[in-house]
Amino acid sequence: MKYSRIIGTGSYLPEKVLTNKDLEKMVDTTDQWIRERTGIKQRHIAAEGETTCDLAEVASRRALEAASKSVEDIDLIVLATTTPDQVFPSTACLLQSRLGNHGAPAFDVQAVCTGFIYAMGVADNFIKAGSAKCALVVGAETFSRIINWEDRGTCVLFGDGAGAVVLEASDEPGVMSTHLHADGDYANLLHVPDGVSKGYDVVQANGAFVEMRGNEVFKMAVNTLGQIVDETLEKNGLDKSDIDWLIPHQANLRIINATARKLRMPMDHVVVTVAEHGNTSAASVPLAFDAAVREGKIKRGELLLMEAFGGGFTWGSVLVKY
């Protein structure tokens, strides 16, 4: 049986840091309130003129370097983002040009915070089907561009960043299974209400910001992430104790804690970067993954569970033998 195996990781965060103390000067909030309810202390914000593709390029080059692969080795690029540089072409195609890759299929995936999980599922199936041998999978966001910085319910949550992995075909187990779900009936609980085909006014942009009904989203996230844990373990005939590391979407520390309790996993085996990064949407899982790999926490041979929940609603998981 053919598997896809992660052979390199990379990430990038913009230089500008926006702390909770900074936000106290912008909206009616406090550092204590933000920390108690989200666990977030700071987030990184893209500079003026710095795009999603800019972030993705740095993360991708670092992943390629870690994988000891050249740009020419890549025969598939899947990029997850909700904040593309342009309406078209895709940010994946813009990234492909920046990297100097020619001919490989390149496309974007849009599943908001679950985007990287979806992109991993797509790339894994390309490799299993024999349609690709070496894939670059990226999650990248400049989410600050769609935030209303006068809305204290959302502006405290989000940040910008990018993460990437290189997947290679292997006879050895790597990605064990992927599990992807969505339910569009809940779209209005977490969304940006404007869009191109609805007559989006680029100049006014009155409605082109994230809107969220926080309490309802929190409840759905906790419930669905608990279910995806059970589904993943059952599919692979595993016990909760078999998982070495949980790499969750970095949305809210309370949600992360709830998922860890579901797995009965001690927090020292849960990768948590939400305090420093905030919620970077599709970038959050690969950012956290790369941070843990480079810090020497995650070792080869360990079993990893990645999971995320996002607008759509979308949710999913990836089980990986690293």
Contacts 24+ apart (CB under 8 A), 150-153: 150/26, 150/27, 151/27, 151/209, 151/210, 152/27, 152/28, 152/29, 153/212, 153/214
Amino acid letter at 73? Answer: D
Query: What's the CA gap between 182 and 312, in Å, rounded?
Result: 6
- Phi and psi at 316, nearest 5°, equal 180, 175
Residues 6+ apart with CB under 8 A from 280: 43, 141, 143, 158, 159, 160, 161, 250, 287
Query: What's the CA gap between 313 and 201, in Å, rounded?
Result: 25
b/e 237-271 (16+ beta carbons within 10 angstroms → b): eeeeeebbbbbbbbbbbebbbbbbebbebeeeebb
Under DSSP, is residue 272 helix (H, G, I), strand (E, B) or coil?
coil
Q: Are 108 and 123 spatial neighbours (Cβ–Cβ below 8 Å)?
A: no
282: Cα within 13 Å, side-chain hemisphere: 32
Query: What's the CA gap between 311 and 52, in Å, rounded?
Result: 19
Q: Which residues are catalytic?
A: 113, 249, 279
Q: What letter does residue 153 receive in the DSSP assignment?
A: T
- Phi and psi at 221, nearest 5°, equal -65, -45
Q: How far is residue 104 from each of residues 10, 58, 133, measured CA to CA in Å?
A: 20, 19, 11
CB atoms within 10 A of CB 310: 28
